[in-house]
A and B are shown apart, each in its own frame.
Chain A
Amino acid sequence: MLRYILRRVLIWIPSLLLILLGVYALAFFGAGDPIKLIFMRAPGDVAYDPVRIEAIRQSAGLDQPFLVQFGHYILNLLQGNWGNSLITGRPVWRTISAAAPVSLQLGLVTIVLTAVIAIPLGVIAALNQNSRLDYAILGSAIALWAIPPYVAGPLLMVALIVILPGGEIPYGWGGIFDVRVLLPLAVLSMQPIALIVRQTRAAVIEVMGEDFVRTARAKGVPELIVALRHIMRPVLTPVVTQLGLIMITLINGAIFVELVFGLPGLGRLTVQSTLDSDYPIILGITLIGASLVMISNLLVDLVYPLLDPRAGQARQGR
């Protein structure tokens, strides 16, 4: 077990290196010299002095070949130095760790909301297959899936202003227990909920047709127990494997939601840093985002054998 985890984690190193190399190359060959980028955006009174720029470049090692610079970046990274923002000059690590808690809290609450709302709805829809209730649940899920968060966000925002004319405009961050967080949470969880409702419904319908469900009924097991024990356990397996996908949906959704609702999280930092071509921050965010997806995929693979005993045996056999 430990060896398996170790092997999986070891593969992350070349994977992350390759990803960073790609983004670094984009910055190096596409966007160009970071010093020039800084000077281009500097206020007018800073003179564009080629000699001075050259001096800064040399002192920062920016005149060296691409791979050498990349190597320096990685070495620094290994020592915990993520570089400094090109715009603010603050350390990347501090900038990211200031923004991360906002996104992480939003993300965690969204995952909990998704599980608590979507799985029961999917089950209810499946148990009432082809009834009006089923169509209503499935229809709403498909509609939620089709409305992008950047359209839903502003629409809900104004709907709220119309309904509560005196109320506060839900813009800005006041912690996860602030009322203003409700709307962004709703928008952020819309697509994951839609995804999981449909997945759960399909899985339940498939399992309901299995022979072992008929066996359980033939034994006189009460319907509720049949649903909870015999149907839900096998259903959870495919649903849990969607965690990685949900992670990506969340990371993407956070970009829009934080932008629309003015939340100081990683999503807004992402957009801001790409607009500014602030590559040290972009690299840092890429690293964190990719690691999150990889970690959640590993978690899924670790939980899977607990849910499905057959999978555990298959892996030991390999």
Chain B
Amino acid sequence: MSSSPLLSVRNLEIEVSTRRGPAKVVDGISFDVERGEALGVVGESGCGKSITTLSLLGLLPPGARVSAGFALMDDRNLFTLSRPALRKVRGGRIGMIFQDPMTSFNPVLKIGDQLIEPLVYHRGLSRAEAWERAGELLRLVGIPGGEARLDNYPHELSGGMRQRVMIAMGLACEPPLLIADEPTTALDVTIQAQIVDLVKDLRARLGMSIIWITHDLALVSGLVDRIIVLYAGKVVEEALVDDLYAKPTHPYTRGLLASLPTLEGEETRRLPAIGGTPPDPGRRPPGCPFAPRCPLKVELCERAMPPLEPVDGRNSHRAACWVTTGAMEMAA
């Protein structure tokens, strides 16, 4: 690779203290985000995808802490930054879009007052300059009327509008990395597509990198370049989007893809669901965490965690499965 990646996360572990002692909710995750790349992070609720991105900005909730690993950006480890340096990263180097546009805005402050904050605290703009720039940002994210909307309070906007404002807020200082944490989950299906299109369009214009967290594989397929699939705090598969669709390798990824409805195909096909639920982070089995739900599991799966192995000998596509990658034969 010619240039170094924008962000490198290595062996990240996050512990959450629970009544039964610490539980590892993120267990040795590693991934890179290249400059200008859009990375999709996919997994079901509780797999550790949100908390991973929160840790990058030092926004872990009380009781959670990074217990191992590092995250390199601009040649610095994000986990050991001083408070002022971390503040510069937040909003300045990494913009963040949260899931619920209803609760993520301060209800007693005007949209404009919240939108200008990154400009004031990172760019040092005066209030008036920032206000003007905020109006432009609103037009950029496709809010008609732009400036006039700045005087509105959050409850006066619809959910989709609010999410557009949220995107404008995340991009206000043109950070090289934008993290979107399930930004469409709380929205109507038609609005979801609009938001995805908007981000796609903005990426083409501004050229930032994106980490898009979702549990909806179909939604992001047209937006991201590469996908990593998380299960129970571990990366189980990573691949370029086309490779993943063409040859899903981990049984969990296969399950995810199989449960997507398609337009072509049999008319009355029952969508297959993955049976069971993910294991409790406090008491994960020693082997592959997916083993209890896996249709292909063998005895080895319950004893040892499979390593991430290249699929078809290519390093860009890797999966962590004893059975489907052929790692078992190699180990034997």
Contacts and interface: CB of A to CB of B under 8 A. Distances in A.
Q: Do chains A and B make direct contact within the complex (CB under 8 angstroms)? A: yes
Contacts of A309: 107-108, 153, 155
A234 B153 CA distance: 14
A308 B117 contact: no
Interface string A211-225: 111111111111101
Interface in A201-254: 210-223, 225, 229-230, 233-234, 237
A307 interface: yes
Lowest 3 A-B CB distances belong to which pairs? A220-B91, A220-B90, A211-B103
Contacts of A318: none
Nearest to B99: A211
Nearest to B57: A218
Contacts of A230: 106, 109
Nearest to A309: B153
B109 A229 contact: yes
Interface string B72-87: 0000000000010001
B88 A220 contact: yes
A313 interface: yes
A310 interface: yes
Given A216-B114, A220-B88, 18 more contacts: A212-B104, A212-B105, A212-B107, A215-B105, A215-B114, A215-B169, A217-B57, A218-B57, A218-B90, A219-B91, A219-B118, A219-B121, A219-B169, A220-B89, A220-B91, A225-B117, A309-B153, A309-B155
B131 interface: no
Contacts of A217: 57, 59, 90
B155 A215 contact: no
Nearest to A213: B106
Contact of A212 (B90, B106, B155, B156): B106
Given A219-B117, A220-B122, A234 B90 contact: no
Interface in A13-64: none
A310 B107 contact: yes
Contacts of A229: 109
A221 B121 contact: yes
A25 B154 CA distance: 53
B103 A308 contact: no
A218 B96 contact: yes
Contacts of B57: 217-218
B290 interface: no
Interface residues of B, number: 30
B108 A237 contact: yes
A60 B98 CA distance: 75
Query: What DSSP secondary structure best describes chain A's contact surface?
Result: helix
Given A211-B103, A214-B59, A309-B155, A219 B108 contact: no
Nearest to B115: A219
B92 interface: yes
A136 to B, nearest CB: 21
B104 A215 contact: yes
Interface string B150-161: 000101100000
B96 A216 contact: no
B136 interface: no
A310 to B, nearest CB: 5
8 contacts: A214-B104, A218-B91, A218-B98, A219-B169, A225-B121, A230-B109, A309-B153, A313-B156
A214 B104 CA distance: 8
Interface string B16-60: 000000000000000000000000000000000000000001010
Contacts of A214: 59, 98, 104
A313 B155 contact: yes
Nearest to B108: A233
A307 B83 CA distance: 31
Contact of A211 (B90, B104, B153): B104
A218 B100 CA distance: 14
B100 A211 contact: yes
A134 B124 CA distance: 35
Contacts of B89: 220
A211 B98 contact: yes
A220 B92 contact: yes
A211 B61 CA distance: 11
Interface in A268-318: 307-310, 313
Contacts of B103: 210-212
Contacts of B104: 211-212, 214-215
Interface in B188-209: none
Interface string B114-130: 10011001100000000
Contacts of B122: 220
Contact of A215 (B88, B98, B108): B98
Contacts of B114: 215-216
Interface in A71-109: none
A313 B114 CA distance: 20
Given A211-B98, A220-B87, A309-B153, A233 B109 contact: yes
A212 B92 CA distance: 18
B155 A222 contact: no
Contacts of B107: 212, 234, 308-310
B292 to A, nearest CB: 33
Nearest to B90: A220
B100 to A, nearest CB: 6
A222 B87 contact: yes
B41 to A, nearest CB: 17
Interface string B127-163: 0000000000000000000000000010110000000
Contacts of B169: 215, 219
Contacts of A216: 106, 114, 117
A310 B155 CA distance: 7
Contacts of B90: 217-220
Contacts of A219: 90-91, 96, 117-118, 121, 169, 172
A147 B62 CA distance: 35
